Amino acid sequence: MKTPDAPSFPIWPAIAPTIACHTAVWTAICAVGALGSYRDYVGQAVHGYGHFLLRWLAYHVPMIMLGSGLSLALSRWPALFDSARRSALIYTGLLFSFLPLEWLYVAFCDVLFRGAGVAWAAVCSAFMAMPMFNRFTEFSWMSGTLVAMAAIGNWRLARVREAGWRRAQNDNLALQLALEQQRMLALRAQLEPHFIFNALNAISALVRTADGPLALSGIARLSDLLRYALAAGARETVSIGEELQFVHDYLSLQRLRYGARLHFVIEGDSVAVRHGDCPPLLLQPLIENALRHDLDSHEGEGDIRLSFALAGNDVLIRVCNPLQPHATPNPGAGLGLQNTRERLQSSNKQASLQTQRVDGRFLVEIRMPLQVA
């Protein structure tokens, strides 16, 4: 009858405390019953209260044994009464084995307390003459004990299963959190080399033009950018103001490469917006994507715009660049928008990133809750 719902453990060390517990419970019940019997015979009986208590205890020894036995069985097999079929079989077995023996024991106690001498014939006679009410009373005690133990056993089993379910839920949530953190780290690991690669491309373009001072200036700016990227990458969130400063520094580096062709406008960067938080390195991939699909695709001037707007409890961030119908395609590696979308979803399930073409421009829009960094 061993089940996988709960582990079994040795039964013998629990015998003494279990019997003591049930003896104490039944002693309290017998004390109340004996008090009632004593009051019924006040002025008539020659025996005191102790005599009635002794008789009640003697009559209920089988109940103490039954309760203790069921408790020990439950400690060994916690799911003993979990099945209705098994419970019915146990009840039927007690009904046809324990109950007749209990009636016989009660008859023996009747003969013993009458003081007429204990003989098998006298016990059998008392057994046959036992009133139906007494039989029903013993039947009720047995049934009540079984029902009570079954209820206690199933309650304990339910608590064990609930605790196991909660542990499993906590373990599952911890595993999901660990996986999400690893996924975020993997995205960051993809993002940072990608950013470094593109920044180095900008400097290499300056080196190829043999403009030494500009190249050195670019290396110094790249050092500042990398310092922020490494520091921000170790944090869960940064302020939008910090990200904007990083964008300005990044654009300064790119301006060394594109010169007067780089036109960039920032709108709506209010104090409330700047104090909001966001995932680190959120804006730079969007700016880089706009540069790649705008200035890298033609030889003319660019027109990239970054705007912020408040919409209730959300902040809207839009980055747009013109679409050149005859420009040379520059698809890039495809990491920027994809990584940004996944990092937003990982940091906040309510955040979203949408892209669309509007009036000859490519628009990236981020919506996320505005929270103070």
- 135-147: pLDDT as tens digits: 888 889 889 888 8
Whether 193 and 50 map to the same domain: the answer is: no
User: Which residues in the chain belong to E strands, given as ranges?
Assistant: 238-239, 264-267, 277-278, 304-311, 314-322, 352-358, 361-369
Asked if 279 contacts 344 with a C-beta cutoff of 8 angstroms, the reply is yes
> Residue 287: inside a domain, yes or no?
yes
Distance between CA atoms of residues 195 and 229, nearest Å = 9
What gap in Å lies between CA 22 and CA 99, rounded to an integer? 19
Structural domain count, the chain: 2
Judge whether 7 lies within some domain. no
Q: What pLDDT is stored for residue 4 in this prediction?
A: 44
- CATH number for the domain spanning 343: value is 3.30.565.10
Residue 5 makes CB contacts below 8 A (sequence gap 6+) with 78, 79, 82, 157, 160, 161
Q: State the pLDDT at residue 223.
A: 75
| 305 found inside a domain | yes
In a domain, 122, yes or no: yes
Residue 188's pLDDT is 52
**Six token digits for residue 311:** 């919409």
Closest CA to 60 of 151, 152, 138, 146: 138
The DSSP letter of residue 373 is: -
**Amino acid, res. 223:** S
Range of 198's domain?
Answer: 179-369
Residues 142, 273: one domain?
no
Residues 243 and 245: their CA atoms lie apart, in Å, by 5
Q: Among 112, 136, 170, identify where a domain stops.
A: 170
pLDDT number for residue 11: 45
What integer pLDDT is reported at residue 1 of this predicted model? Answer: 44
Choose one of 137, 170, 203: the last residue of a domain.
170
Residues in the chain: 373
Handedness of CA 16, 20, 22, 26 (dihedral sign): positive
Structure confidence at residue 186 (pLDDT): 52
Could you say which DSSP state residue 370 is in? -
- Residues in contact with 34: Cβ distance below 8 Å, sequence separation at least 6, in sequence order: 49, 52, 53, 55, 56
Same domain, 206 and 66: no
| Residue 128 neighbours by CB under 8 Å, 6+ apart | none
Q: Residue 196 contacts by C-beta under 8 Å, 6 or more apart in sequence?
A: 226, 229
Q: Which of 151, 170, 189 is the last residue of a domain?
A: 170
The answer to whether residue 5 sits within a structural domain is no
| Residue 285 belongs to some domain of the structure | yes
Distances (CA, A) of 10 to 137, 178, 317: 35, 38, 65
Task: State the Cα torsion 127-128-134-135 to the nearest 10°.
Answer: 90
Same domain, 239 and 363: yes
pLDDT of residue 212: 65
How many beta carbons lie within 10 A of that of residue 245, not counting itself?
13
Is 55 a member of any domain? yes
pLDDT at 203: 67
Is pTM beyond 0.95? Reply is no
Q: Which residues pair with 355 in a beta bridge?
A: 364
Longest dimension (CA), the chain: 127
3-state SS, residue 167: helix
What does the pLDDT look like over 272-282, one tens digit per residue? 999 999 888 88
Closest CA to 276 of 242, 321, 229, 312: 242
Does one domain contain both 314 and 267? yes
Phi-psi region of 10 (alpha: psi -120 to 50; beta: other; left: phi over 0): beta
Q: Is residue 189 part of a domain?
A: yes
Same domain, 268 and 195: yes
Residues of the chain with pLDDT under 50: 1-12, 187, 190, 331-333
State residue 166's pLDDT score. 86
Residue 326's pLDDT is 66
Are residue 102 and residue 193 in the same domain, yes or no? no
Q: Say if residue 192 is in the same domain as residue 326.
A: yes
Residues 162 and 200 occupy one common structural domain: no
- One domain for residues 302 and 235: yes
Asked if 93 and 189 sit in the same domain, the reply is no
Residues 117 and 233 in one domain: no
